[in-house]
Structure 1
């Protein structure tokens, strides 16, 4: 099976860490969705201005294109609303799965505050949570980010194995 996996959630939930570790376990590349944003989007976020849907649509199309063209691949992407996930699904191709990394606002805020070298300010966290439409169980595997990194990776691997068994 060709894996197309989106690691999703609000900024600071661990998409990059989980995606890179999962990619290493599966032997497939991880692409950070942050790298697919336009320079204008990055500047807006750096300035503490939340993105609008008009800002997001071209980015989501690039995420879907990477999933389609570079599979097998894992992409980290917030995919906060169901409509965004549907947009990605429409362009990504078959065998697409979403993994939602969920956690408390306090835990994620602490992680964001400790993070260096990233353009996303902690001040945008509330807008991320306000936008988030948590996926239903039939739409994504949801995992608690309070779990250790390896436990998260193991849970995703077990889910993948269960689907292909």
Structure 2
């Protein structure tokens, strides 16, 4: 009977191990920057958001809050939002990578992961830009946008990528 569940258990075990290892590695990364403000990855992302917003004619500056480990977006002479570590979507990217690796299919796994991470990174940049624009232009929707709409965007992207991975790669019969 256990033999029937062996493939599923293997996938589940692979997912859990990869997820925990990546999560621990990320936590070590974050710990190495504790007390020095926002981590470098989040800071780069904030800078790119600022560049996109400036290009879209939403004049933006960044203000460091080292003690609070955050960066504030100052858009059109107003503090709109702040970038904290959780805004960088790395935890979502870790979840994505662990799931795809759980259904390992050779080199195409690595290619799909790289393409998926680029897509998630871009989507997250656009998510933060979108949130800042909502806060500036449609204040009455800012809470709903932050709490529901924009999280649905990033998680929806992950689910869509997972579905593509499963349908077109992981469960694809190698002989057909």
Indicate whether the TM-score tops 0.5: no
With structure 2 as the length reference, what TM-score do the two structures score?
0.26
Bigger relative contact order, structure 1 or 2 (CA pairs below 8 A, ≥6 apart) = 1
- TM-score, normalization by structure 1: 0.28
> Which is higher, the Rg of structure 1 or of structure 2?
2
